Structure 1
Amino acid sequence: MRDTLGQRGEAIFTVLMTEFHDRSRPIFKPQFLGDKWQYVDFIVELVGTESIITYFFVQVKTTRTGYTKKLNRLKVKVPQDHIRGIAAYVAPTYIVGIDEVTEI
């Protein structure tokens, strides 16, 4: 179940990042890096920059437990060693929380 939940979160992230806005194409191009990367799941390129390639790394954390009542924060856990590992990248890095809720 854990791998399935993570895969669903990564798929939701890809769909959200590739939404069409005012332009005829998405503004982000995410590329899944596979399970071999320890701290990041995606490299995401900003589409449309001509002179330089602009990108950032993302680790996706998925949950079905919702939000805290007091502070309305998503209930995801990120181990301290992952935070240190992500911070070691010499590039912008983000941890993205996905609330995977199935409605029937």
Structure 2
Amino acid sequence: MTGAFRELTGFRGEKIVELCLTDYQAFDRPLFRPGFLGDKWPAVDFYVELEEVEGKRLYFFAQTKATADNSSLSEKGLHIYTKRRDIENLLQIPGPTYIFGVHEPTKRVFIRSIHSGIPVKAISRIPLTHELTSINLKKLHNEVCRYWSTTIHKPVSSVFA
């Protein structure tokens, strides 16, 4: 795969993730509001706020890995390429972090959580059960809400008060 084709695949993968996260066919309105951070951020591609949460602006971060290889999608899942450093970087970010794997030819998106306790090593596969369907979009929304409900939303004091 040439560098230009790899860049195009990545660009298209990012757009597919945005479309998937803002899908509202099963809901009154989208559950998420993704903000693309650009190519200069070393660990994440998206800052994603949750919609439908009153009084708070809950969020998570995500990195996108796209592939145009038809053989990367099998009954075992979507094969992606990450480096150990990708996982280390995501684990250093406070709050929920995920990797979105995109199978560009079929426009299917799969998700993998990067959270405390997972092995710090490259990830090469996301199970098919983790496809971002309407059901899993709702599960993602609920998971991020649960995380923030157990975490203090704001500091209780500051030297700059």
Normalising by structure 1, we get a TM-score of: 0.89
1:48-59 matched pairs, under 5 angstroms: 48-59=52-63
Once the two structures are superposed, residues 17-54 of structure 1 have per-residue CA deviations (whole angstroms, 9 ceiling, x without a partner) of 1011321x211000000011101000111112112211
Which residue in the other structure is 1:92 paired with?
96
State the alpha-carbon separation in 2 of the partners of residues 22 and 47 from structure 1.
11
> Which of residues 4, 11, 33 is equivalent to 1:7?
11
Q: What code does the residue aligned with 2:27 have?
A: D
Which residue in the other structure is 1:22 paired with?
27
The answer to whether 1:61 aligns with 2:65 is yes
Once the two structures are superposed, residues 34-76 of structure 1 have per-residue CA deviations (whole angstroms, 9 ceiling, x without a partner) of 011101000111112112211000001001223245xx22111
Structure 2: state its 5+ residue gaps.
107-161
Runs of 4+ in 1 over 3 A off after TM superposition: none
State the alpha-carbon separation in 2 of the partners of residues 83 and 14 from structure 1.
22
Larger relative contact order (CA 8 Å, sep ≥ 6) = 1
Q: Quick one: percent identity of the two aligned structures?
A: 39
> Which of residues 73, 77, 83 is equivalent to 1:73?
77
Structure 1: state its 5+ residue gaps.
none
Higher Cα radius of gyration: 2
State the alpha-carbon separation in 2 of the partners of residues 63 and 22 from structure 1.
29
Which residue in the other structure is 2:43 paired with?
39
State the alpha-carbon separation in 1 of the partners of residues 38 and 27 from structure 2.
31
* Count, aligned residues: 99
Normalising by structure 2, we get a TM-score of: 0.58
> Which has the larger share of helix?
2
Superposition CA RMSD, Å: 1.3
